[in-house]
Amino acid sequence: MYRPSLVVTFTKKSSVKMAKLTSLFVILLSFFCISEAVFEDQVGKFDWRQQYVGKTLFAHFESNTQSSKKMFVATDKNIFASFNSRTGDLLWRHVDKTGPEGSIDILLLHGQDALMVVGDGRLLRSWDTNIGGLNWEAVLDTGSFQAACFVAIQDTVKLVAVLKKAAISLHYLSNGHQKWVENLPDSDAVQYQAVYSGGEEEVYVLGVVPNSHLTIIAYSLEDGEIIKQRSVEASWLSSIESSCVVVGQGVLMCVDPATLALYTLPIQAEETPEFSQILLQSLDLEVFPGFQPVLVSSQPHPARSPLSEFFLQLGPDHHVLLQLNADGYTIAPLRDFQPAFLVSFATTGKKTVAAVMTPKNETACAINLFSVDSGRRLLDTTVLFPLEPNGGKPHTLYVHAFLKKDDSVGYRVLVQTQDHALTFIQQPGRVVWTREEALADVVTMEMVDLPLTGTQAELEGEFGKKAAIQDGLFPMVLKRLSSQVTLLQAWLAHLWKLFYEARKPRSQVKNEVTIETLSRDEFNLQKMMVMVTASGKLFGIDSKSGSILWKHYLENVQPNAAFKLIVQRTTAHFPHPPQCTLLIKDKDTGLATLHVFNPIFGRKSHIALPALPRPILQSLLLPVIDQDYAKVLLLVDDQYKVTAFPSTKNVLQQLQEMASSIFFYLIRSDQGNLSGFRLRKDLSTERIWEVVLPTEVQKIVAVKGKRPNEHVHSQGRVMGDRSVLYKYLNPNLLAVVTESTDTHPERAFVGVFLVDGVTGRIIHEAVQRKARGPVHFVHSENWVVYEYWNTKSRRNEFSVLELFEGTELYNSTVFSSLDRPHLPQVLQQTYIFPSPITTMEATLTEKGITSRHLLVGLPSGAILSLPKMFLDPRRPEVVTEHSREENLIPYAPEMPIRTEWFINYNQTVARVKGIYTAPSGLESTCLVVAYGLDIYQTRVYPSKQFDVLKDDYDYVLISSVLFALFFATMISKRLAQVKLLNRAWR
Amino acid sequence: MASVPRLCLLLSIIPTILILCADFACCNTGRKTGDGLDTDFSGFSVPLEHSFEVDDVSRFRMRGALQLRGGRETSVSLSQSQLSEEDRNTLKEVAAVDGLYKIRVPRVSLTDRQTERQMDGYLTAFVRACSLVESHLSDVITLHTDVSGYLIGVSIVTIPGACRGTEVEDEVDLEAFNTTLTIIPPTNAPQPETALFIERMDIEHEKRGKPQEQKSFFAKYWMYIVPLVLFLMMSGAQDQSGGGAANGGGR
């Protein structure tokens, strides 16, 4: 029935020695671990993946026919992708290097070819848009990229021109070979910013000396010879890019916000040309105060000159369609659009239309098509774009126009909103699909339990404290009876639903998850994933299906803001709704704001927020709860003053009582300073300890405490001789990782400090010599696992530190950092890991009984579930009776990577950035979410599903055996009785 | 140990106590690094200050002087004075209100004395005053250094560490500190033990005895192959002669 779906291949080891190690490993492993791969029919049953591309920078549609299905986008995440425009599904996706090296400067589309300049003019690439294959790639000369355009020879597009800071080059479209390259004259003084070709024998390069003059150079297409070079006086012009476009028969149209005038200049003119000025006033146009006017033009085909119609944006919601008359220097206004947010040109066949988005009402915007020639509105072209109450405003409009069978113009429109969402709309206003591209950059997340169902909640309410006090005995009995009846009703309804659905074929049964039907399942396996994205959009995602249940866009979030998501109240306190708080901190000013919301419905809570006038240094969630069961959040500002949230009287009183036992720490990595503070009764603080790591030697790169919701089931480890080695379980322990400032491979080191966060005592200080970062580490229970780069052996290594108190506990009842005079024993071991890693996290379960695994995100996109058993510093060099008794794996220097350990089989997670683990209601099961460019959710069972019956459990067999035994007992009992009776008679 | 403070009671300065030598793990070349080093590191002293106030505002006073000796073998010793009558009372008062007893040392480098660069700032640590009182001033002070010999942290604990609320009647118990002083350099984290592992594997292989050397196919089955080949050659020779004849005929 089950077939393993994975083909296991081991990576080839280069040296024979390594191969020997590996083979030995495999043999050893087979004793200790049973394979845990996914079976073929389990694929997608408990897991899902969503792929994203990021914020769209360029978008193009395939050819302009009604039936075309493809669209292409290039994004800020350095991704070139194609969508199916009918469904919004990803057809293919190319993920380039991160950072400026892979950034996409421009995307041009012509026929089947998509041209792309990558990495600030480093590479020119051509893609086949049908299959997404690379046609060719050409390495361009150095120099920063300025502009690019297609160049046509005799009405066919054959070349592409790339303008760099100091050179222009022409490349053939067919193979990417360079036709010619020419250095631009006087490129130190002149800023060349635009390149224009209108189907003539020349290609024009436009440059500007800011506030002085404009330079026009015409190059011959044939050999790159300069045909003409003109210089035009333009003291008002500072940038061609931002204020000029080419319209009509090669006329440069510029707008000057200072003089409020349009300037026109024929580029191709033979004699020395001059700008002619047209005052906006003469056209009865007025610029919104303080607004920089923007020109928008369109060149439908690279072999022809651009349209003589163009848009001029005069204000945030004011556009005008203008036409350049045939004489080349007079302008006629065609139509005034006010209010109008967005405009866009679209061409199909010979017709060009303009799409204009206007606000309709609170909840929708209307998009209309207008004929470009006349400015008349085309009939029956209205499309409604729904505005979500907590969504972003429309940002860009991409229009796909096509000719219908009756030769009228039809269109579909792609709207990009400020929150990076893409919405595709068809006439007459049906939203075909929406892609939430903000999810390509998840910053932090939490998983929140779903609420109980209505009936369960009612029961909870019945036995709530408040109810019992208010009501007498008789109403309580009545309430009890009524809730029993509702329970019975719910059960009957459930039975009926089961019966009803059982009759239907399985494919038709759809379990649509909506926000109304959300309720906790039997084992709490379904949770709400609250995801915070870099753009400031929050999402609530159902962990079972991956469907987005709510979204909330926070406007005014700075692009470099840091987020911290805190669950202040879980779902457990019915009737109080759960409460999450998002701390948003501006990295430049340090000023913070709070956003408090209900994580199940995404609604903003209307709670009085504390005023935070000063930069916030640290936030800490206390186990103290207020009368509404919300945990107290303390915010420490730069004057070490503490603000409590919520700050009711009850809370302040509790804080005063507990003040002397509330300690916190602050870390200033720029000064290498770690310091501890104690709260005073008046909510001021006093500095009580200070540790300083000199920044000349090493710098602090990361600090991690333990997760507050982590449970450790066993206090110690039973050794081979039946004695117990107690773990050092200090909940206040901080792992501080440093890297040396000296980066020489021989002298570089990575430091690991274990510091008690209350007393500032350095529990352990280890130095990994000849090592450098990036260091990834996990700190949990009594261990720290870190991974670094060994500069001497040039390989990645894992090291594990475990802390033990010894064979006797100092104080077994309670742990206090203030009363642990003895330092723990520290054991450490190091292993070779055959791959670099990008992120690491440990599994987490409800009670901590299940053995732990490390989840390691690899650059390949795989997520490796590595048993912690392999990272155990007590692995013996030499196998003894005791170590065998303890089930310790003999030490081997190399850590294996087995492909069955990839929990995401072939569902790779591109650029995995973080892994989040959460316990479920089942002890054996841990929920895992890996996020990066993609989001992947699954479950892992580190110790197998010991508390769950298998899918193929044979109920028939077991029950028939039971029955058979039962009857056998009955019969044999009867027989025995008869026999006894007979014997008695004898 | 306990007798030492008693003997020295008459002296106002008690030179105590511990010296822990911590070898840096780097190998010793065997050659004495010379007297120059010794004179350089012949010891310098830094103040150890403490503060205990009822109102918890730090006012640091001199407790003693740390004699630091850097170099290949770092060592430290502490000379400290007795607590005055006034201090003893304050300490008891602080202990009564569960105040803190703080100590601090200036940031110094143990090795880099030539530059004499004075780093600003102090390293601070604390212990509950009550535990100090209840332990009769038996404290353990640990100094932590980093790889290049800078002091990075100090910690103080008392043994026993708990506050049980026992009254300390005897004034004598609070006069002199019974300090254990250690200096802890960073430990070197281990590297992967490849050499040892391979060695162990080799030994295991040897123990198991040399495995049967893989014989080649020919070595194993020569007794079958040779007759077969001989047979084929014999028959082949016959064929060849026949074939040669046929060829000859064809020509």
> Which tokens belong to A897?
């990577």
Span A605-610, average pLDDT: 86
**Is the backbone peptide bond immediately before A575 cis, with ω within 30 degrees of 0?**
yes
Substitution target in B146, B164, B182, B203 with the highest count of A β-carbons within 10 Å is: B146
| pLDDT band of A362, cuts 50, 70, 90 | confident
**Cα Rg of chain B (Å, integer):** 39
Query: Are the Cβ atoms of A760 and B125 closer than 8 angstroms?
Result: yes
Cα separation, A363 vs A361, in Å, equals 6
Q: How far apart are CA A581 and CA A85, in angstroms?
A: 37
User: pLDDT class for A56, splitting at 50, 70, 90?
Assistant: very high
Q: What local confidence, expressed as pLDDT, does residue A459 receive?
A: 65
- The interface residues of chain B toward chain A in range 87-126, judged by CB-CB distance below 8 A, are 98, 100, 102, 104, 107, 119, 121-126
* pLDDT for the residue numbered A106: 92
pTM equals 0.83
Q: Cβ(A314)–Cβ(A288) under 8 Å?
A: yes
Beta carbons within 8 Å of A321's beta carbon, 6+ residues apart: A309, A310, A311, A333, A334, A335, A336, A337, A354, A370, A372, A375
Instruction: Count the Cβ atoms, other than its own, within 10 Å of residue A11.
Output: 10
What CA–CA distance (Å, rounded) separates A586 from A594? 12
Mutation for B interface: A666, A673, A691, most B CBs within 10 A: A691
pLDDT band, residue A278 (cuts 50/70/90): confident
**Average pLDDT score over chain A:** 86
pLDDT for the residue A454: 63
How many angstroms separate the CA atoms of A443 and A935, rounded?
12
For residue A915, the model assigns a pLDDT of 95
Query: Residue A817 in contact with residue A756, Cβ under 8 Å?
Result: yes
* Residue A900 to chain B, least CA–CA distance (Å): 25
Which chain A residues have a beta carbon less than 8 Å from that of B150?
694, 697
**Chain B residues with CB-CB distance to A828 below 8 A:** 189-190
- Expressed in percent and rounded to 5, the helix, strand and coil fractions of chain B are 35, 30, 35
pLDDT value, residue B125: 92
Angstrom CA distances, B233 to A102, A156, A507, A703, B247, stand at 69, 75, 72, 81, 20
Contact A797 B192 (CB under 8 A): yes
Distance CA A582, CA A534 (A): 13
Q: Supply the pLDDT for residue A466.
A: 54
Pairing of β B13-16 and β A309-315: unpaired
Render pLDDT for A516-558 as a digit per residue (tens, 0 to 9): 677 888 888 999 999 999 989 999 999 988 889 999 998 888 8
Within A230-307, residue ranges assigned H as helices are 240-243
Amino acid A537: pLDDT: 92
Contacts of A937 (CB under 8 A, 6+ apart): A47, A48, A49, A529, A543, A546, A927, A928, A929, A930
The continuous run of DSSP H or E covering A73 comes out as strand A70-75
- Average pLDDT of A794-804? 93
Give the DSSP letter string of A178-213: EEEEEEPTTTTT-EEEEEE--SSSEEEEEEEETTTE
Chain A positions touching B198 (Cβ under 8 A) are 17, 21
Has residue A497 got a pLDDT over 50? yes
- Confidence band (pLDDT; 50, 70, 90) for A456? low
Please report residues of B whose CB lies closer than 8 A to that of A821: 140, 157-161
Share of chain A above pLDDT 70, in %: 93
Cβ-based contacts of A790 with chain B (< 8 Å): 191
When CB atoms are compared, the residue of A752, A811, A828 closest to B190 is A828
Band (A950; pLDDT cuts 50, 70, 90): confident
Query: CA nearest A192: which of A226, A215, A219?
Result: A215
Residue among A890, A689, A766 nearest A25 (CA): A890
So what's the pLDDT on residue A235? 86
Q: Would you state the pLDDT for residue A513? A: 63
Report CB contact under 8 Å: B126, A759: yes
pLDDT in tens, A185-199: 888 888 999 998 887
- A473-503 and A454-462 helices cross at what angle (nearest 10)? 160
CA distances to A32, A876, A887, A889, A891 from A880, in Å: 16, 8, 11, 11, 12
* A689·B124 Cβ contact <8 A: yes
Residue A726 has a pLDDT of: 92
CA atoms within 13 A on the CB side of A1: 4
pLDDT value at position B188?
92
Smallest Cα distance from B201 to chain A, Å: 9
Per-residue pLDDT at A740: 92
Low pLDDT (below 50) residues in chain B: 1-41, 241-251
Of A686, A693, A830, which has the smallest distance from its Cβ to B191's Cβ?
A830
Mean pLDDT along residues A300-319: 87
- Contact between A854 and A840 under an 8 Å Cβ cutoff? The reply is yes
Residue owning tokens 């012509």: A110
pLDDT score of A800: 94
Predicted local confidence at residue A931, as pLDDT: 94
Q: Are strands A839-842 and A853-857 parallel, antiparallel or unpaired?
A: antiparallel
Q: Does ipTM come in above 0.90?
A: no
Mean pLDDT, residues A391-414 taken together: 87
Q: Compute the distance between CA of residue B121 and CA of residue B101 in angstroms, rounded to an integer.
A: 19
DSSP B172: G
The reported pLDDT for the residue numbered A504 is 67
Closest CA to A769 of A737, A791, A800: A791
| A386 burial type by CB count under 10 A (0-12 exposed, 13-18 middle, 19+ buried) | middle
pLDDT at B197: 86
**Dist CA B148 CA A820 (whole Å):** 29
Residues in CB range of A479: below 8 A, 6 or more apart: A462, A467, A471
Cα–Cα distance between A688 and A707 in angstroms, integer? 24
Q: How far is B241 from chain A (nearest CA, A)?
A: 52
Q: Which structure tokens are listed for A823?
A: 């330092």
Nearest CB neighbour to B194, from listed A686, A877, A893: A893
Q: What is the mean pLDDT of residues A745-774?
A: 91
pLDDT range class, residue A468, cuts 50, 70, 90: low
Q: Is pLDDT of A24 > 60?
A: no
Q: Check residue A392 and give its pLDDT.
A: 84
Q: Which residues from chain B sit within 8 angstroms of residue A692, using beta carbons?
A: 107, 121, 123, 152-153
Q: Mean pLDDT across the stretch A958-962? A: 95
Q: Which member of A686, A689, A697 has the closest CB to residue B146? A: A697
Residues on chain A touching B51 (C-beta within 8 angstroms): none
Contact A762 B153 (CB under 8 A): yes
pLDDT computed for residue A541 by the predictor: 93
Chain B, 26 to 45: residues with Cβ < 8 Å from chain A are none
Report the distance separating Cα A257 and Cα A264, nearest Å. Answer: 15
Which residue is listed with tokens 């010991």?
A946
- Give the distance from CA A397 to its chain's centroid: 24
> A465 falls in which pLDDT band (50, 70, 90)?
low
Of the pLDDT bands very low, low, confident and very high (cuts 50, 70, 90), residue A305 is confident
Q: Which residues contact B171 (CB under 8 A, 6 or more apart)?
A: B88
Query: Does residue A609 carry a pLDDT above 60?
Result: yes
Which residue of A20, A666, A689 is the best one to mutate when testing the B interface, meaning the one whose CB has the most B CBs within 10 A?
A689
CA distance B5 to chain A (A): 22
Helix (H) or strand (E) holding B199: helix B194-207
Kind and range of the H or E run holding B248: helix B217-250
pLDDT tens profile A580-601: 999 998 877 888 889 999 998 8
Query: Which of A692, A787, A799, A894 best tests the B interface by mutation, with the highest count of B CBs <10 A?
Result: A692
CA of residue A713 relative to chain centroid, distance: 33
What mean pLDDT comes out for the span A72-94?
91
Arithmetic mean of pLDDT, A333-339? 88
Shortest CA gap B102–chain A (Å) = 7
Choose among B126, B142, B194: nearest Cβ to A688: B126
Using one digit for the tens of pLDDT, what is the confidence trace for A216-248? 899 988 888 888 888 888 888 888 888 889 988
